[in-house]
Amino acid sequence: MKAKRPYILGLGGTTTPGSLTEKVVRCGLELAKEAGADTGFLGGEALQLPLYRYGLERNALAERLVEEIRRADGLIIASPGYHGAVSGLMKNALDYLEENRSDARPYLTDRAIGCIGLAAGWQAGSATLIGLRSIVHALRGWPTPLGVVVNSSEISVDTTGFISDLKIREQLMVMVGQIMQLCQGTVQK
């Protein structure tokens, strides 16, 4: 019997299309594809959701987010650091996981999650990464052993969006490898 390819969902971005956060997630997803995964992406525009409130009727964007997370075997989640914390855009999107609380796999249960914090400095990027990892733990997910911090004031991206910074690419490769390894134990064969 042929093994099912894991589905890795990327979440991240800002209200600006093509943000560095989005580019870093897309880089991770490309690496996941190369490692044998199917991938999907919900960027900043797809995450501009109404402020989460339990019982609020979901709009089409929220419905898509909830369904894509249900489908995912693993995720790559990235947030820019806003004042030393996860962005409101990302926190609100993750709050929508409350809609999955009654699923067979509630919240992020049995999913490998690669977390990436970005900021114009190491301290804020690290704080953002710690915040994401804490949220993933609270949602019963498995953060990869390696989380990635991107100092946006030091990274180089070419005009096509390719991240040429070898240190960041190497860290993303390790993180994606860990996602794939954790997914092997959860994906039905």
What is the predicted pLDDT for the residue at 186? 63
8 A C-beta contact, residue 186 and residue 142: no
Element counts in the chain: helices (H) and strands (E): 5, 7
pLDDT tens-digit readout, 46-87: 999 999 998 888 899 999 999 999 999 999 999 999 988 999
pLDDT tens-digit readout, 151-188: 998 887 777 777 878 899 999 999 999 999 999 876 54
What is the predicted pLDDT for the residue at 158? 73
8 A C-beta contact, residue 83 and residue 35: no
Residue located via tokens 């991206």: 157
| Residue 169 domain-assigned (yes or no) | yes
Q: For residue 53, what are the domain limits?
A: 7-184
Residue 176: give its domain's CATH number: 3.40.50.360
| Residue 189 domain-assigned (yes or no) | no
pLDDT tens-digit readout, 7-57: 999 999 898 888 999 999 999 999 999 999 999 999 999 999 999 998 888
| Residue 99 domain-assigned (yes or no) | yes
